[in-house]
Amino acid sequence: MKFLKEPTDKGLHIPRAALNLCGFEAGEKVELHTAENALVALKGRMTAMELLRAAQSLQQMAVELHTHLAKVCGPCDGCEGECPFETRDEDEIGLPEYLREEAGIPADAKLCAWVDDEEHTVTISEADYDHDLRDVPEEVLEMFRATGICVGELEERLIVGDTVYGG
């Protein structure tokens, strides 16, 4: 069950109905776990069975989020062959530090390489975006590839950085 709430200056109000659905009783402690882009409220005291169910719920939520992203990307109709990051071996673009410094590229910058096979040159530059397939966990990438989801589309979404979840 999903409740859409907006945080205010005072915080986030959780409706009693939501707490009831989770099995949170009044006077019982609730643990708030902060995570990147997520806040998880766990029952403060749990039996083994309750813990297992909570863990299962979180796992299920992760599956639903990945499935949502997979639906946004859709099935691949053959762009996989042109995917610039097909294998993880190509992940690291090596650039000696002195060259990087001379070019004024920050140490933590994401690098891109452009190949000119006629001129036999490779141009290495700072990427003008924050994220691409290199930031995707390998197991998620594997799952997308195994189920025929368009990895090229996923990369496009990462580079553009537009909203893929919620309005």
Q: Which residues bind Zn ion (CB under 5 A)?
A: 76, 79, 150, 152
CB of 87 to Zn ion, least distance (A): 16
Adjacent-strand bridge partners of 122: 115
Whole-angstrom Cα distance, residue 94 to residue 130? 18
Question: Closer to Zn ion at the Cβ: 42 or 155?
Answer: 155
Question: Closer to Zn ion at the Cβ: 42 or 133?
Answer: 133
Question: Closer to Zn ion at the Cβ: 126 or 156?
Answer: 156
CB of 144 to Zn ion, least distance (A): 10
Whole-angstrom Cα distance, residue 7 to residue 15? 13
Question: Closer to Zn ion at the Cβ: 42 or 150?
Answer: 150
CB of 153 to Zn ion, least distance (A): 6
C-alpha dist (Å) from residue 64 to 47, 51, 70:
26, 20, 10
* CA contacts within 13 A on the Cβ side of 128: 0
Question: Closer to Zn ion at the Cβ: 24 or 152?
Answer: 152
SS3 of 129, please?
A: coil
Whole-angstrom Cα distance, residue 134 to residue 91? 7
CB of 151 to Zn ion, least distance (A): 6
Residue 57 identity (one-letter amino acid): S
Backbone angles phi, psi at 165, to 5 degrees: -135, 130
CB of 155 to Zn ion, least distance (A): 9
Backbone angles phi, psi at 13, to 5 degrees: -90, 125
